[in-house]
Structure 1
Amino acid sequence: AAGLTLNDGVVIDEHARTSDPAIVAAGDCASKYISRYGRRVRLECVPGATDQAKLAAATLCGKSKSAVSLPWFWSDQYDLKLQIAGLNTGYDEVVLSGDPTRDRDFSCFYLRGGELLAADCINRPRDFMFSKRAITQQLPVDRAELMLGGLARS
């Protein structure tokens, strides 16, 4: 009813502004473009909503700053902790650390052109923390180290 641009949610820019610069949006309804993944997404998760709320508040207070935060997610399923860093879209290679058919802890690392895009980590918080940092800072990764999991990293 407000006449805002919609595209799988309310379209926002890097400052959480909608197509009407007097209106901001944040949370599950907000659709933002993430250049690393080359597409617009709605991040339906607590970290995404928190980051967008801070950005929207800063914009409303006239302290407009842009922030590109890494999408990340988690879920506890009984004794399994699933932690996801990044979005596993557009990858051309998957590196598996651990054996999901045998172990209760393993990680899947998603790469595109050798660059780490995302990681799905099951009961491997060290892999998750490394992945968040490596993806955010676009650090080079070594496939052999990824296969070893957190053991080869500092």
Structure 2
Amino acid sequence: VVGVGVLPNVELARDAGLAVENGIVVDEHGRTDDPRIFAAGDCANHYDARYGTRIRLECVANALEHAKAIAGAICGKQKPISALPWFWSDQYDLKLQIAGLSTGHDEVVLRGNPADGRSFACFYLADGRLIAADCVNRPKEFMFSKRAITQELSPDRALLADPDTPLISLLQTPARSAP
């Protein structure tokens, strides 16, 4: 397996005098240091409050989230870039799905058996809170992870690892108002 990264095309931004650091530096609305210029997608490096760091992601979901934030900013409806990073790759009969960023994790909880290489999930926690998951042929675990990370859950580790525990039972449900 060879992983090949992509260098962001920042020459135009650099020539225009915009801040460039692992991409074009933007705020949480996609705005560069020139308030009249926005940048989105693979070339844009924004601050992610969830992970407490600047990130530049090379994925479709990120580009779409940037576009929404920029459109809102242009229309005067400021809504920060906040989508959870997620990725996928199909490798023959294996589907790898990744939710969140595992940087900074201090614990890993396994669900399934990675030794068989066919179907398992690795949940990454930081201070007990779920921050990322790598799922191989585990779409339910992937969908659970996206929701749980967004909800900033600190799931019970034993239940998270137990394949007989329905993961949906670990999610927060919105309070219902009385009829």
Q: Work out whether the TM-score is over 0.5.
A: yes
Once the 2 structures are TM-superposed, how far is the Cα of residue 102 of structure 1 from its aligned partner?
Answer: 1.3
> Which one is further off, 53-62 or 144-153?
144-153
**SS of equivalent to 1:68:** coil
Answer yes or no: is the 8 Å Cα contact 1:127–1:150 preserved in 2. no
| Structure 1 residue aligned with 2:6 | none
**Dislocated runs of 4+, deviation >4 Å:** none
Aligned residue pairs total: 154
Structure having greater relative contact order (Cα 8 Å, sep ≥ 6):
1
1:12 corresponds to which of 26, 34, 38: 26
Q: Structure 1 CA distance, aligned partners of 2:88 and 2:146?
A: 12
Q: 1:75 aligns with which of 86, 89, 98?
A: 89
1:113 to 105, 113, 127: 127
**Structure having the higher Rg:** 2
Rounded to whole Å, the distance in 1 between the matches of 2:83 and 2:41 is 14
TM-score by length of 2: 0.81
The aligned counterpart of 2:9 is none
Given that 1:97 and 1:107 are in contact with CA atoms closer than 8 Å, whether structure 2 keeps it comes out as yes
Shift of 1:151: 3.7
* Gap runs ≥5 in structure 2: 1-14, 169-179
SS of equivalent residue, structure 2 residue 115: coil
Instruction: Tell me the alpha carbon deviations over residues 60-80 of structure 1, each in whole angstroms, 9 at most, x when there is no partner.
Output: 233332241111111111111
Structure 1's unaligned 5+ residue stretches are: none
Partner amino acid, structure 2, of 1:119: A
Instruction: Report the Cα distance in structure 2 between the residues aligned to 1:135 and 1:149, rounded to whole angstroms.
Output: 19
Structure 1 counterpart of 2:45: 31
Q: Does structure 1 retain, via aligned residues, the 8 Å contact 2:141–2:167? A: no
TM-score, with normalisation over the residues of structure 1? 0.93
Q: Percent of counterpart pairs with the same letter?
A: 61
